[in-house]
Chain A
């Protein structure tokens, strides 16, 4: 018969061990990376891969999210004659929550998976071993530039996502719901505070780091050939997505719990 205490205990131990391994991995990458040399070319490549090439998917997600948000807010708020709050609702929702979270989840699916697959393939084809024999620390060369790219690229993506998301709300409100363009923009910025934007960008940096860390950790430690690479890719996306949603709560609480 299954002992529930044993099952829960085993799960807690497994999660704790995984968390410990990930922390040691991150510490090793950051510690080695800070010592240098720093691989600027690798950072540039990762910024293009993670930031520039994610623009279409993040932009599309943001514009439709802003449009749906305006529509949904309108259908709800019209019942209370509170349509004038729509621009504020759209901008605060996008800037504080939906921009960073949706961009994070989309990038986790696109880039986190690609990182895990690339590093996993490098592991199983001995390319990571080859790096070491060529007097190059794989943590410094492969992992640290990706972590830094995650920290930089996602906030930049979220700035773009915020602008496009607000624009989506603007388009629906002005061309479908009858708002005046100037009126909509004035109301958009009327209640927006610097902290709203800053909190969203801090979230984005945290999410970017999480995505890169999960992609690198699972890829770097993959084993068992093609199947192992597939498993690493799945784990990278799932763990990054869960951690993004978890971290989102704690960062939100840190900023707005008063």
Chain B
């Protein structure tokens, strides 16, 4: 008997007016695995992530986490589900009004009865794990560089030791060296926690570094899915065009 996937998505659809973004998407994320969804801009990668996070309500379909349906979850069920997850947003989405340590320990303070001094200690410990000095703890997000913000965002995502971590374009806007540093941190953080990871990106360097499996999203569906090692030999012209970054091919960008 095969092990139940950590995340199982079936026939997921989501439209915005006449724009059908997700058109019956199926995807499995195995427990402890790292799946990266690739696809061009505007193909619905972020919409997929927001549906899984419960930030958008899908029109139809099913999303099961550990076998539990989360579509339409409310109240305590939704809170319990969100206590299992961590999320690194594209722009880090740090709270401007709070110092870095409060950002990092925010989830910890929201879900546990932990004192502020304890939360601060835990935040500094987590900041050090992602390569930020303890002096960073009292800075405000506006005082951080782009790379430091991503690290602080990653620290916030892993501070509660989540079972599942989502990464939304984790290397967008970073230089190649900082991108590699962030990819390395993601890989290490996920393996240290034994967490399941689902990422969306169009940075192929990031894909090769952090993915166990890759899924290609095109026209609202997963058109190819497989181990990252087989991506180059997928035999799918869409995947080949995308991973090689060619203008010529079956994928036509709407602009």
Interface positions of A (Cβ within 8 A of B): 45, 118, 121-122, 125-127, 129-136
Q: State in angstroms the CA–CA spacing of A135 and B95 once bound together.
A: 15
Q: State in angstroms the CA–CA spacing of A121 and B96 once bound together.
A: 10
B91 touches A126 (CB 8 A): yes
Of chain A, the residue at the smallest CB distance from B153 is A130
Interface flags, B86-113, vs A, CB<8A=1, else 0 = 1101110111110000000011001100
Of chain A, the residue at the smallest CB distance from B162 is A133
Q: How far is the CB of B97 from chain A (nearest CB, A)?
A: 8
Stretch of B32-40, B59-67, B77-85, B225-233 with 4 or more beta carbons under 8 angstroms from chain A: B77-85
Q: How far is the CB of B151 from chain A (nearest CB, A)?
A: 16
A135-B110, A135-B111, A136-B106 are contacts. A130–B93 as well, Cβ < 8 Å? Answer: yes
Q: State in angstroms the CA–CA spacing of A63 and B194 once bound together.
A: 65
Q: Is the interface of A mostly helix, strand, loop or mixed?
A: helix
Q: State in angstroms the CA–CA spacing of A242 and B86 once bound together.
A: 43
A130 touches B83 (CB 8 A): no
Give the residue of B54, B79, B95, B111 whose beta carbon is less than 8 angstroms from that of A130.
B95
Q: State in angstroms the CA–CA spacing of A199 and B45 once bound together.
A: 54
A129-B50, A130-B87 are contacts. A135–B93 as well, Cβ < 8 Å? Answer: no
A125-B91, A127-B95, A127-B96 are contacts. A133–B106 as well, Cβ < 8 Å? Answer: no
Of chain B, the residue at the smallest CB distance from A45 is B97
Residue among B83, B90, B91 with the highest chain A CB neighbour number at 10 A: B91
Interface positions of B (Cβ within 8 A of A): 50, 53-55, 79, 82-83, 85-87, 89-91, 93-97, 106-107, 110-111, 156
Give the residue of A125, A132, A136 whose beta carbon is less than 8 angstroms from that of B53.
A132
Of chain B, the residue at the smallest CB distance from A141 is B110
B106 touches A129 (CB 8 A): no
A132 touches B96 (CB 8 A): no
Q: How far is the CB of B56 from chain A (nearest CB, A)?
A: 10
Residues in A with CB closer than 8 Å to B110 are 134-136
A133 touches B85 (CB 8 A): yes
Residues in B with CB closer than 8 Å to A125 are 91, 93
B82 touches A129 (CB 8 A): no
B111 touches A129 (CB 8 A): no
8 pairs from A and B in contact (CB 8 Å cutoff): A126-B93, A127-B96, A129-B53, A130-B95, A131-B95, A132-B53, A135-B82, A136-B110
Residues in A with CB closer than 8 Å to B50 are 129
Q: How far is the CB of B42 from chain A (nearest CB, A)?
A: 16
Give the residue of B87, B90, B95 whose beta carbon is less than 8 angstroms from that of A133.
B87
Residues in B with CB closer than 8 Å to A129 are 50, 53, 55, 89, 93
